[in-house]
Structure 1
């Protein structure tokens, strides 16, 4: 025992701090940073090419070899797209649709998740598994019945069709339930003993404690709705209800395509999402890191 507790000689290096081991550790760390840098360049390269293509003429977009920087930037593309298209209408429809779907999904997802996580009723686990199991069903398998249903309600060719179909989502319920499971049941039981109703507990306790998870769900839903193409393509036929993703296809005709304006519109469609993500990045990372932790 005395040998095990004997202090190391003064000036001696621990085994983990030997020069060779430290060099190997620094080498692996440098290789890791290099791999992350290469991956980051590969991910950001298409976005860089999109921005640079928005500053080219239509014939220069697909020139060989690729021009990574336009010789004469065409800044007028950002003015021409507003003059040649209904960009204001498309952006307005997209903002309205994304905001409505996000608010509804956050409300319905968090409200249903509270019931599954903190309210005890017969068949709760079976109902939750059945609801979450719909995530495994591809949308293409039931989009025709949905279209028939929307046609019966005369909601096709309106934004209400997209809002009605996307107001509820199992992914939001799953994410919020995982977060609510980490909140102690003793806190909820104490509020019930004090006479607070289930609606009061949800509004005054659960929602304030779940801001990071709500931010994560909001960002995921907003990006998904903003970038949705197939849904609006099926239901929105009139140009005055098009979203920006559907509106960009109007620059493609049977015999020609205005690629420079398509890239310009793509930049304008991506820019709001980038700004929103940068503003909410802290809450998004915190929500993803805490979702699923129980304790």
Structure 2
């Protein structure tokens, strides 16, 4: 089929690469180059970089306005495929390709409709994650579903790791749906169940509450890692937690109490301890958690969240 593809982050790249193998990509739509790093260097999106490697035309636009609609319409694509583009597709663009648009979404719809499905699912403690390919409609993530697939993940997988796995599986799932649409065998069914919302995360979502049970603290850590990042405070200063797992055999600690062991830094919660192995203190780079601990003058009274 002749396709137009819209996507921006690295999670969309596997689908673009997979579709380019067996279909014609008329153009790739992505967000404009963005300033990254301390020097704020304008950098193409991961999708733009992949498209250029594949020799595909790229349309950079912050929103699918009249100008973008006209440019995409002129491509005469048969189907639009969107994966985490970062903007809404509205009429008349929604109906412009003959077969409309399909969307790869990283949840088992109607669960977690919105911008951060994987992150919100992990924070909520969901044990099963997955991907859905559905017909794009005006209502957010509400279209009929062509295919859905559950993905097995480690119980310690972070949102970043989960997205990598879902992106790989989702690429194959999307390719299967595109092939079925081309062959005239695709069937979409209405979503069933009560929808849940997965609104975009903010920095506040990454704040760990040590008065909560260990399961809830670790679920939030997984859901906000690597973005927007898990954090707390130590002696009133910001303190990022980059790598951690539950320490089920840890000695009892009060909520927020910090203790160094032979292998990790333990921070107490309401029901157990989190074993932290990599941190980033205020004003410093990422480092081994125990190296930071050994550099503190008063290790007996250090407390997270203080």
TM-score norm. by structure 1 comes to 0.26
Q: Which entry has the higher C-alpha Rg, 1 or 2?
A: 1
- TM-score of the superposed pair, with normalisation by structure 2: 0.25
Higher relative contact order (CA 8 A, sep 6+): 1
Structure with a larger share of its residues in strand: 2
In proportion to residue count, which structure has more helix? 1
